[in-house]
Structure 1
């Protein structure tokens, strides 16, 4: 029978910290323990494994082959445990974190994330942004929901902007195809917005089944990158490509935007512990989006 061995979590954490810093002294400082304690934990782990994990060279250390292999196996797990624990403690003891949830990862990445620093500079709060396409469940913790396709019933909502669609492409791609009939435009698409091309086509009195749709990408931000690279023309919410239209990496292939009928909304979770702050975030985001629209 194989003897069951307890997992020495403290020693593993110490080992991972030594590996990260490459030095016992700096690892001890980071952990808040003595250098001799670091040495004891590493020695205990080496004794348990019956393997040498480090080669000592003066104040610095290098991995043995076994140590390097073990470090690669445990370092991400240790970091994940530390981060999860920090987040749990912060969630219990801190009131200065706002959890913003969104069902629109491309909108979040291209529009919300770049301006979050502005909000945090003027408010004593850290903003955690999470994305999920599913409807929130009652037990899930968040303060604000930003969406165009979900509804949070019985709570306060803010209308951020109304969505319009544009067809864009790289300057070279637009120059090569703009004079052609729309049926011959090489379009690319996104699985996250399968409705975009049909809405645009109907507005332009085009039969969807006659369009030339090539590559399909999972998310809009991937399709935007493909359009910048010249892979084709893309029908996309204008708000997602404002910056690219400003700097000229993308230009309009069709001058007339098409109203999709969708509205981007922000909901304040009634179960939030920070309703006033969540409301202030919604008010701020609406103002930022409207000001950006005016300057576009």
Structure 2
């Protein structure tokens, strides 16, 4: 397949579309003489005049009109295919994030996103800390370990854990002095590494930030995931430490945030996408929506 000089075809199509050499030059960010040169190059290649020139005025020849109709459709198809290859199908976006964040915070809010952006079909994928940040996995990510180099990272939220329990247990706690009476109830500790010794580091860190030690005789139940601990707390099996986004997602008030201090873990959440997709409409829309939603999380803890 022998193709014409594509730069020349692009210049010709812009002149024909805008009916102006100067406007075509501005659109292509080149000089007017460069556009004229490319058009003459194409006419020589085709051995056919594409414009009728009469002094400073010009118009398409019959051959030029026919050629423009054909190549404009081809250029549109080429641009569309290239956009799909670089940015994916418009209106379809794959977001990869942690399961806890998806289940306990994002999914309850997805109706709001679909209402605000009905033209975007958002698909969710689950990731872990050592995920592969590639197009095979997703178009964009929410992670605490943002990659460097060719990626943009938009800060969303710093993790801060607060004591929380179910409504039934709160009825027993609310009139008691805290935090001293807290330790009479089971503490629900999360430890993702099941092979490590169970040390309840989350509760020890929380106590340290409050200026006291974790009592030696306190009852501690261990869980391998924060979702499990949150569900146990919901059913009044003890008190857990959970991030503000869990509490923000509990629209039916299954979990109650205790009036006690929080502790920052050092983990920070980022919305991540490739720099090459920074101008993609779907990415921009989702990024703005996520930042607005995280403002609600800050309200919970203020």
Scaled by the length of structure 2, what TM-score is found? 0.57
SS in 1 for 2:254: coil
Cα contact 2:91–2:282 (8 A) shared by 1: no
Match of 1:240 among 236, 246, 250: 246
Question: Higher Cα Rg: structure 1 or 2?
Answer: 2
TM-superposition CA deviations, 1:5-33 (whole Å, max 9, x none): xxxxxxxxxxxxxxxxxxxxxxxxxxxxx
In the alignment, structure 1 segments of 5+ residues that lack a partner are 1-90
CA drift at 1:183: 4.2
Structure 1 pair 119/181, CA: closer, same or farther in 2 (3 Å)? closer
Cα contact 2:183–2:215 (8 A) shared by 1: no
After superposition, residues 1-296 of structure 1 pair within 5 angstroms as 94-102=89-97, 104-123=98-117, 124-133=119-128, 134-138=130-134, 140-148=136-144, 150-154=145-149, 155-176=151-172, 178-179=176-177, 180-192=180-192, 196-208=202-214, 210=216, 212-244=218-250, 247-270=252-275, 275-291=280-296, 293-294=298-299
Distance (Å, rounded) in 1 between the aligned partners of 2:229 and 2:140: 27
SS in 2 for 1:156: strand
TM-superposition CA deviations, 1:148-192 (whole Å, max 9, x none): 2x1221221111122221101123323445544454441012234
SS in 1 for 2:208: helix
Distance (Å, rounded) in 1 between the aligned partners of 2:248 and 2:254: 10
Of 225-234 and 215-224, more deviation after overlay is shown by 215-224
SS in 2 for 1:265: strand
In the alignment, structure 2 segments of 5+ residues that lack a partner are 1-83, 194-199
SS in 1 for 2:261: coil
Distance (Å, rounded) in 2 between the aligned partners of 1:265 and 1:211: 39
Distance (Å, rounded) in 2 between the aligned partners of 1:187 and 1:147: 27
Distance (Å, rounded) in 1 between the aligned partners of 2:276 and 2:192: 29
Cα contact 2:167–2:254 (8 A) shared by 1: yes
Distance (Å, rounded) in 2 between the aligned partners of 1:205 and 1:295: 24
Distance (Å, rounded) in 2 between the aligned partners of 1:110 and 1:176: 25
Scaled by the length of structure 1, what TM-score is found? 0.58
Distance (Å, rounded) in 2 between the aligned partners of 1:214 and 1:159: 34
Cα contact 1:170–1:230 (8 A) shared by 2: yes
> What do you get for the CA RMSD once the two structures are aligned?
3.1
